Chains A and B, each alone.
Chain A
């Protein structure tokens, strides 16, 4: 009888094992029957051609495209407040700047302003406005509206908003209405990149009937009275928000859009669906719940989609960069030899190929490649230059037995694959035999706090551009007091002087030499070590067209189309 019982139990175990094996076999079978992913990268570069020019009229288009993202509007879609990637991107589709970028380039083209000029002293910029433009609710657009919008930014003065964030509050002195359709900005000092700032959402005009002078417009559920924008290609028709987290956003074509006669937007309705993480976004794309996945699929996902005929992978230059930061208050990182040794020992190919599967590019300057005035300044160190690194470490007093030991901290829940980056850095540095790295991680909010409290030694940060200009890749990292948001405590009078010059010079050959000096100085002092620069990637159904990914990082819904 005892035997009998054992039989029963073991029979059950056998059944369980068989079930598990069957499930496993099913998964294996299903995977092996899907088309194998190939390593060859089919670069489907930005197809900017619009459907009307490439197709015959017999093809019909869908009037709705569903976009999936893991982003979320962090607080509001008010240009006085929104200073996060997705909030800004929605404003770029619901609103319009005085000037804008030509899709696919960083060339500034007329938008709400038809022409502009700058005074000889470089301190007064005058814009001639497009006439007859109306907000979605019919409110006319004119110079008073522009002045109202800029004055409102000053009045609200949100410390965490975009206006103060890029320093517009210190750049602009006042706004002057010259006539109904002409407006001038008087600046405190000549600013070479003011036109780029004019294309930034902080200077987007808002609807005075929706946006009160002294208050940020919060969204409480009314799409008609709580969208301060209204000059862009789309209007907001539905926004499902729950507990500060987006669920779905519906946009529809703005009938009053100034460029509507040119056939924009291409697709009448845009639906944006929000996902908690890349895994759910990926699943939704595969299950057909979304047509386009943009920000943020994992490198593995993207690799899997390349070569899959059921999907189209779109890539564009990325202006997102990531870099290593030293806090010079933490010994021994006040020693330039130590910083340089680390800069030399880092192996970018390990990060690029192993962590990101080749989907990012190695970066040798804080100014990303492809941007004006970029110089590969950090190439002087090379990659995994162990001999040089060991030499520098010996000079600093370290050896195989007396190792340089420190903690590298990385954030979680904010950037992609930071654990892999940190591990790659650790492995490369420890190859010198003279460095021992401890890894630590903190959730993003704690991480920022620890940074501000000077508690971290070596850490990782990333940067998205506010406006497309080298200035935005130097000045924020290198404040005169060495604090800023990075807390490097790196202070160098020459650097401060060079950055001031870069701000006020508008001659491009002069700028080139100034930025070259800045980049070389960063390399030789190594307060920061650039690691890599991202590539913008979107994956869509093969029927989708019109995705333009360029250095501006603006995702333009109004160019999208999809065949039925």
Chain B
């Protein structure tokens, strides 16, 4: 298998007047071509920051402290200007959380397509760009007449379809979907997930799916990375993770999923709150909330290590 994206020792901090908030801490991760990688975690665990870092879209006060992100062997973080612009959209596309606010309210949908396509492909004129737009709209199941509408004339689910159509218009290799269904109601969510699944196969994409919803990950992902407090605490195949979660945090996450078919199971939530990123606990950052914490956890930060069964866990228990 070919590694399409490789993150090495990435640290990202937000520099505010109140101090440095360490959103991502020394994170490393490989994404294989063609897979669907789920990244899960509570809000504030650094998932979205990671997505923006991959796109090279971090804005002040956020800044990359150390590390690199290689896309097909090229370091995204050292790219400048046109180079990174051509990468975005063309190679890596992103689908955002809130379709309601992710489209320019003063532009028609067709204009979104046309400028997107023509700015990336110089030999394509408006006419051809429109043809692509029609095709994409059809493939996400929207009639092409609606290209002439403004974003506010669409419903949430329809807008997310438009966003997906836009993201796929230039046939990128890697799709970053940041909570693509969080803002949608359950019925629509299922439709959209179905659509993403279908298109992923159709376009042979690599997909990074960022979500806090364990159910969505279970449905979609090949592998799952669990993030806590700016680090990956567990990484393994989806099935294994669900069957046998190792890290206490992962356990907590899975136990908090309500299951229709097993009402007898007690629904457990993880006690406490995620820590303040400006003031991360020493040792294992999860130790204040961990039911199994012992002395070492308070002093030594566990590394993400490959265990004998081929799974990666960052926990002193193993």
Chain A residues packing against B (C-beta within 8 Å): 1-2, 4-5
A1–B13 Cα distance when bound, in Å, is 11
B83 at the interface (CB under 8 A from A): no
A-B complex: 7 closest residue pairs judged by Cβ atoms: A1-B15, A2-B17, A1-B61, A1-B20, A1-B16, A1-B17, A5-B17
B interface residues, tally (CB under 8 Å): 5
> What are 8 A-B pairs with beta-carbon distances under 8 A?
A1-B15, A1-B16, A1-B17, A1-B20, A1-B61, A2-B17, A4-B15, A5-B17
In the bound complex, what is the Cα–Cα distance between A2 and B15 (angstroms)?
9
The interface residues of chain B lying within 8 Å CB-to-CB of A5 are: 17
**Residue numbers in A under 8 Å from B17 (CB-CB):** 1-2, 5
CB contacts (< 8 Å) of A4 on chain B: these are 15
A5 to B15, CA, bound (A): 11
Most chain B CB within a 10 A radius of its CB, from A1, A2, A4, A5:
A1
Chain A residues with Cβ below 8 Å from B61 are 1
**Apart from A1-B20, A4-B15, A5-B17: 5 A-B pairs, beta carbons within 8 A:** A1-B15, A1-B16, A1-B17, A1-B61, A2-B17
- Give complex CA distance A5, B60 in Å: 12
CB neighbours of A1 from chain B (8 A): 15-17, 20, 61
A260 CB to nearest chain B CB (Å): 72
- Give the nearest-CB partner of B17 in chain A: A2
A1–B21 alpha-carbon span in the complex (Å)? 12
| Chain A, residue nearest B15 (CB) | A1
**CB closest chain-B residue, reference A5:** B17
A7 to chain B, nearest CB (A): 14
| Cα distance A2–B17 in the bound complex, in angstroms | 6
A4 to B15, CA, bound (A): 11
Complex CA distance for A5 and B18, rounded to whole angstroms: 13
How far, in Å, is A8 (CB) from chain B's closest CB? 11
A415→B16 CA distance, assembly (Å) = 62
Against A, the Cβ 8 Å flags (1 = close, 0 = not) of B3-47 are 000000000000111001000000000000000000000000000
Residue of B nearest to A1 (CB): B15
CB distance from B250 to the nearest CB of A (A): 34
Complex CA gap A241/B126 in Å reads 59
Q: Which residue of A lies closest to B63 (CB)?
A: A1
Chain A nearest CB from B21 CB (Å) reads: 11
Q: Could you mark each residue 57-79 of chain B with 1 if its beta carbon is under 8 Å from any beta carbon of chain A, else 0?
A: 00001000000000000000000
B51-104: which residues lie under 8 A (CB-CB) from chain A? 61
How many angstroms from the CA of A94 to the CA of B16 in the assembled complex? 78
Smallest beta-carbon distance B143→chain A, Å: 51
- Chain B nearest CB, measured from A540 CB (Å): 61
Kindly report which residue of chain A lies nearest to residue B61, judged by CB atoms.
A1
Instruction: Tell me the complex Cα distance, A2–B61, Å.
Output: 11
CA distance A259 to B61 in the complex (A): 86
A483 to chain B, nearest CB (A): 75
Q: Which residue on chain A has the smallest CB distance to residue B14?
A: A1
Contacts of A2 in B (CB 8 A): 17
Give A251 Cβ to nearest chain B Cβ, in Å.
59
- How far, in Å, is B9 (CB) from chain A's closest CB? 22
Report the Cα distance A1→B65, complex, angstroms.
Answer: 13
Give the chain A neighbours of B20 by CB distance below 8 A. 1
- Alpha-carbon distance between A1 and B14 when the two chains are bound, in angstroms: 10
Q: Which residues of A contact B15 (CB under 8 A)?
A: 1, 4
Taking CB as reference atom, which chain B residue is nearest A2?
B17
With the chains together, A351 CA to B173 CA distance in Å?
A: 89
**With the chains together, A5 CA to B17 CA distance in Å?**
9
- Quote the shortest CB–CB distance from A2 to chain B (angstroms): 6
Q: How far is the CA of A98 from the CA of B16 in the complex (A)?
A: 90
Q: Nearest-CB distance from A107 to chain B (Å)?
A: 82
**CA–CA, A2 and B18, complex, Å:** 9
**CA distance in complex: A291, B17 (Å):** 63
Q: How far is the CA of A298 from the CA of B20 in the complex (A)?
A: 64
Chain A: minimal CB distance from B12 (Å)? 14
CB within 8 Å of A: which B206-242 residues: none
With A and B bound together, what is the CA distance between A2 and B19 in angstroms? Answer: 9
Rounded to whole angstroms, the CA-CA distance of A564 and B210 in the bound complex is 84
Cα distance A4–B17 in the bound complex, in angstroms: 11
Complex CA gap A4/B20 in Å reads: 13
Alpha-carbon gap, A2 to B20, bound state (A): 11
Q: Tell me the minimal C-beta distance from A431 to chain B in angstroms.
A: 62
CB distance from A324 to the nearest CB of B (A): 66
- Complex alpha-carbon distance, A2 and B16, angstroms: 8
Complex alpha-carbon distance, A1 and B61, angstroms: 9
Whole-angstrom distance from the CB of B231 to the nearest CB of chain A? 23
Task: Specify the chain B residue showing the minimal Cβ separation from A4.
Answer: B15
Q: How far is the CA of A100 from the CA of B29 in the complex (A)?
A: 107
The distance in angstroms between the C-alpha atoms of A5 and B16, with both chains bound, is: 10
Cα A273 to Cα B82 with chains together (Å): 60
CA distance A210 to B17 in the complex (A): 82
CB distance from B278 to the nearest CB of A (A): 12
Q: How far is the CB of B16 from chain A (nearest CB, A)?
A: 8
A242 CB to nearest B CB, Å: 44
Specify which chain A residues have a CB less than 8 angstroms from the CB of B16 in the assembled complex: 1
Binary interface encoding of chain B residues 105-118 relative to chain A, with 1 for a CB under 8 A from any of its CBs, else 0: 00000000000000
Give Cα A446 to B87, complex, Å: 77
A9 to chain B, nearest CB (A): 13
Minimum CB–CB distance from B150 to chain A (whole Å) comes to: 39
Bound form: Cα–Cα A281–B147 in Å:
64
Q: Of all chain A residues, which has the CB nearest B16?
A: A1
Report the minimum CB–CB distance from A460 to chain B (whole Å).
62
Give A527 Cβ to nearest chain B Cβ, in Å: 75
A4 to B61 alpha-carbon distance, docked (Å)? 11
* A546 to B164 Cα, complex, angstroms: 87
Q: Using CB atoms, name the residue of chain A closest to B19.
A: A1
Q: How distant is B41 from chain A, measured CB to nearest CB, in Å?
A: 26
B281 to chain A, nearest CB (A): 23
* CA gap between A336 and B15 in the complex, in Å: 83
Min CB gap A3→B, angstroms: 11
B59 to chain A, nearest CB (A): 14
**Given the complex of chains A and B, what is the CA–CA distance between A83 and B16 in angstroms?**
74
Q: How far is the CB of A4 from chain B (nearest CB, A)?
A: 8
Q: In angstroms, how far is the closest chain A Cβ from the Cβ of B15? A: 4
Least Cβ distance of A492 to chain B in Å? Answer: 83
Nearest-CB residue, chain A, relative to B20? A1
Per-residue CB contact flags for chain B residues 145-158 toward chain A (1 = under 8 Å, else 0) read 00000000000000
